[in-house]
Amino acid sequence: MTRKQRVEELLRELPQIYPDAHCELDFKNPLELLVATILSAQCTDVRVNMVTKVLFKRCKTAKDYSDISQEELEGIVRSTGFYRNKAKSLRGMGTALVERHAGEVPSSMEELSAIPGAGRKTANVVLGNAFDINEGVVVDTHVGRLSLRLGLTSNSDPVKVEQDLMKLCPQEQWTLLSHWLIWHGRRRCKARNPDCKECEFRDLCPSVDHPDRYLKK
């Protein structure tokens, strides 16, 4: 089975298996999603959602993030890990939005990826989920792991994985592809002890029963 055939089969089955797949970060607007995504680095969505429940009451606008003290912000986001850098990034984000974009989150890859604390992956999350713009594919640890296990790429570098997935999948499904793979990664194809026995893609997965042997096909 070629990569293209495997992707076509996945795209037929994944929507049936995970019809409700969506971004599991809680947000009500582009700013909240941008903040949550910055905080999600090396942290679970569950933990981020606990923190943002408090943070979003304190900071409602870009200016709020620009004006809040480093010390206070560190205290709020401490449990997400790397809290000093994250607090610095959020304050820089707020300042950049105020100074460059009249306090609004921009809706272009070039402008979004230039925001402090962001980058291409974060921009993809915000564009796809807050603006419904399929600019690229979000490649987090789950997407990267499953792409290798399912034989959709032979690369481990997120940029190269994204390029491979963009070539294989129709653009209108780029955002959903990330959601589907993330949901499958969290619920079935986990990093440790993946449930290959019950996996819905057992028959097409080249790594079945050998999930850590990434086949290069």
Residues with a catalytic annotation lie at 121, 140
**How many residues are there in the chain?**
217
How far is residue 201's CA from residue 207's CA, in Å, rounded to a whole number? 10
Q: What tokens were used for 28?
A: 């009500």
CB 98 within 8 A of CB 68: no
How many other CB atoms sit within 10 Å of the CB of residue 161? 22
CB 133 within 8 A of CB 107: yes
Please give the backbone phi and psi of residue 157, each rounded to the nearest 5 degrees, phi first: -70, 125
Element (H, E) at 39: helix 30-39
Q: What tokens were used for 80?
A: 């997400």
Q: What tokens were used for 216?
A: 């290069």
Q: What tokens were used for 166?
A: 């963009």
Integer CA distances (angstroms), 72 to 36, 43, 95, 199, in order: 17, 20, 16, 45
Residue with tokens 């306090």: 103
How far is residue 139's CA from residue 63's CA, in Å, rounded to a whole number? 30
